[in-house]
Structures are given as structure tokens and as C-alpha cells.
């Protein structure tokens, strides 16, 4: 799929921010205001994070062969504007209109994310212009996009892939469900 300009800027920003290959399910922490979000990066996957010009915190995780790429942006949401499934579907319908119009599906097939904590919704689109041929470098046959929300925060994710049944795709989708969770700050050591 060809991606809108903001998504391309996100990719460039994350590439420029430096990346690291995770070893043994390395846990990364990012700070969103005063919140500490934990990300468990699978062994061998490449992780990078950064902020855009507006201060939005973003992270990217790619599988070892760079065939699947997960991009996530974090947002404070103290009013829980995207906490309910209906709010999430309305947001995705607006944000993903371009994907739906150029897809094989020509519609939204919303699925519950069923995260470990919080709520979530996602949908997957297949680029109609790439069906039956290998995607050019930098393009992907499928885009899965969705929201994961928990009290006071949400993340919007995009998972780019050429095969939604692959182990790597499933690993990254499961990562959104089971990781990217708020962790309380570590308790100070007692003297």
C-alpha cells in the first residue's frame, strides 16, 4: 500500500532516531507525560522510538527480516475519547478512509483487539493494486491499523505486512495486545 505523507514522515523520524536489535525479549520503557509504558520487544526484532515535531511519542518494531513493520504513536487521552468500541470504529473509519477506498475489501471489517489490558479495535486492508504481484520495495500488500486504549492513554498502531498469516505478523499483532502496557514506576529502594 502506498502510505500518506504523515506515515512516511513517521518512518523517516524513527529511522533517524536510531534503532536496536532486541535480545532475549528485551523490555523497553517509554515515558508518556508521567506514565511509564512497557514494551516487550521480541528477540531479534529491531526497535526504535522518537518524537515528531508536535512531541508525539512514536515507536517502530520490525521483524528480523524486515518483512513486517509495526508503527505506534502514543497519545494522552484523559477524557477517554477513544475508550469505547464505537468511538474507536468512528476514529478508524475517518483515519483509514484512504486505505479502504484503495483496498480489495472496499470496506471496514472491524475486529476487537481484545488486549491484555484496556480495549481496542482494528481492521485490515489489502492493496488492490498489488494483488497477484510482489510489492515494490517499501510497499506492503496489507495494512492493519487500530487503536488500543486504557484509562488516560491510547495508542494508534499500523502493522505493515505482505502476509497476515505469517508468524512474524502474528507476533507483532500479539505484541500490541499483550505489551504496550502502563507500568507503575519502580518503588524506591529502602535503605
More confident of the two residues 136 and 4: 136
Lowest mean pLDDT among 3-12, 133-142, 180-189: 3-12
Residue 173 maps to a domain: no
- When divided into structural domains, the chain yields a total of 1
Cα–Cα distance, 126 to 105 (Å, whole number): 7
Cα–Cα distance, 73 to 82 (Å, whole number): 14
Residue 118 maps to a domain: yes
Task: Decide if 179 contacts 39 (C-beta within 8 A).
Answer: yes
Sign of the alpha-carbon torsion through 128, 130, 131, 132: positive
Residue 73 maps to a domain: yes
Q: Find the domain containing 13 and state its range.
A: 5-165
What radius of gyration, in Å, describes the C-alpha atoms of the chain? 16
Mean pLDDT throughout 23-35? 64
Give tens-digit pLDDT for 106-121.
999 999 999 988 999 9
Q: What is the CATH number of the domain that holds 88?
A: 3.40.1000
Residue with cell 505478523: 169
- Pairing of the two strands 69-77 and 111-112: unpaired
Rounded to two decimals, what is the model's pTM? Answer: 0.83
Residue 76 maps to a domain: yes
Banded model confidence at residue 7, pLDDT cuts 50, 70, 90: very low
What order do you get walking across the sheet with 35-40 strand by strand?
27-32, 35-40, 181-183
Residue 5: per-residue pLDDT? 38
Mean pLDDT, the chain, as a whole number?
83
Residue 187 maps to a domain: no
Cα–Cα distance, 144 to 152 (Å, whole number): 24
Question: Other CB atoms closer than 10 Å to residue 22's CB: what's the count?
Answer: 19
Banded model confidence at residue 46, pLDDT cuts 50, 70, 90: very high
Residue 186 maps to a domain: no
Give tens-digit pLDDT for 59-76.
999 999 889 999 999 888
Lowest mean pLDDT among 23-27, 155-159, 170-174: 23-27
Question: What percent of the chain has pLDDT above 70?
Answer: 79
Amino acid at each position: 500500500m502506498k502510505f500518506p505523507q504523515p506515515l512516511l514522515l513517521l518512518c523517516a523520524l524513527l529511522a533517524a532516531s536510531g534503532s536496536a536489535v532486541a535480545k532475549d525479549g528485551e523490555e523497553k520503557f517509554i515515558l508518556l507525560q508521567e506514565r511509564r509504558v512497557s514494551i516487550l520487544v521480541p528477540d531479534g526484532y529491531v526497535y526504535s522510538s522518537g518524537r515528531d515535531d508536535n512531541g508525539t511519542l512514536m515507536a517502530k518494531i520490525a521483524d528480523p527480516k524486515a518483512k513486517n513493520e509495526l508503527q505506534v504513536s502514543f497519545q494522552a487521552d484523559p477524557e477517554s475519547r477513544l475508550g469505547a468500541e464505537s468511538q474507536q470504529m468512528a476514529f478508524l473509519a475517518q483515519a483509514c478512509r484512504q486505505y479502504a477506498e484503495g483496498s480489495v475489501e472496499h470496506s471496514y471489517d472491524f475486529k476487537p483487539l481484545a488486549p491484555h489490558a484496556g480495549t481496542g479495535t482494528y481492521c485490515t486492508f489489502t492493496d488492490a493494486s498489488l494483488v497477484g504481484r510482489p510489492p515494490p520495495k517499501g510497499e506492503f500488500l496489507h495494512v492493519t491499523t487500530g487503536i488500543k486504549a486504557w484509562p488516560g492513554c491510547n495508542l494508534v498502531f499500523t502493522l505493515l505486512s505482505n502476509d497476515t498469516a505469517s508468524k512474524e505478523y502474528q507476533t507483532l499483532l500479539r505484541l500490541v495486545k499483550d505489551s504496550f502496557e502502563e507500568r507503575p514506576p519502580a518503588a524506591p529502594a529502602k535503605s
